Amino acid sequence: MLTHQRKNEILARLKREGQVIAKTLSESFGVSEDTIRRDLRELAAEGLLQRVHGGALPASPAVADFAQRQSIESDTKRAVAAAAAAMVSLGQVLILDGGTTAVEMARQLPRDLTATVVTHSPSIAVELVNHPGIEVIIIGGRLFKHSIVTVGTAAMEALSHIRADVYFMGVTGVHATAGLSTGDLEEAYMKRALAAHAAETVVMASSDKINAASPYMIGELSLASTIIVEKSTEAALIEPLAAAGVTVVMA
């Protein structure tokens, strides 16, 4: 089998099975594990998979910056955001993540809602200016321009006195065994800290982020109590999440 044929088969198995193991691939193709590891490195360099210890997982396609993602109008995004907004109760203290789905969620919060929103996203804060009953607390820190959110020690320190009812989290990868992940290390630390300061965490994710992984782990899947996905998401992708004890809401 030629190298490109082997790589195509690796990707096909990855799509079919959700993960591949280097040792198993080596035995199946009759080549050394070093050869398989080289294949995986090259495929990872092309952004076609995410390498993990012993093998690989599907790579999350969510790599565009905020401006590019904001320009993409999506019924899916609006549906997920609407389902998240419907979970908010009067008087709650919410932590609202950065990202385009979170911005859409802010837009869909009722104008007469009385609540407190804590956010490290200037975009969220601006979106809530015309909600008279919502008190907005902005977490300061270094601005990570890719996602337009604050990160770093100062941002995490600002969280120390906050206890929220629920954190609405955005991610780039949701995987039953690899957990919740994102594409930036400091963002991963920040999201983990935000989750630690809320009674429960709700993850908002489109179907292309399910059964996918990004380089930096936020936490185990159990960090989320609920995951909101679009209603067209394949059952095969949802079943492992539900089996792990997470409530899956179809939007």
Question: So what's the pLDDT on residue 88?
Answer: 97
Q: How many CA atoms lie within 13 A of 206 on its CB side?
A: 16
Do 153 and 176 meet the contact criterion of CB atoms below 8 Å apart? no
Mean of the per-residue pLDDT values for the chain? Answer: 91
Q: Residue 217 corresponds to which tokens in the numbers above?
A: 């782990």
Task: Please give the radius of gyration of the chain, using alpha carbons only, rounded to the nearest integer.
Answer: 19
Question: So what's the pLDDT on residue 60?
Answer: 81
DSSP 100-136: HHHHHHHHHS-TT--EEEEES-HHHHHHTTT-TTEEE
pLDDT digits (tens, 9 = 90+) for 68-88: 455 445 788 899 999 999 999
Q: Residue 243 corresponds to which tokens in the numbers above?
A: 């089996």
From residue 117, how far is each of 30, 59, 128, 129 by CA, in Å? 56, 32, 9, 11
Question: So what's the pLDDT on residue 68?
Answer: 47
From residue 9, how far is each of 43, 54, 60, 193 by CA, in Å? 12, 18, 19, 39
Residues of the chain with pLDDT under 70: 62-73
Threshold 0.75, pTM exceeds: yes
The Cα 41–Cα 77 span in angstroms is 32
Q: What are phi and psi of 147, to 5 degrees?
A: -110, 0
Q: Residue 102 corresponds to which tokens in the numbers above?
A: 């979170």
The Cα 79–Cα 197 span in angstroms is 26
End-to-end CA distance of the chain: 44
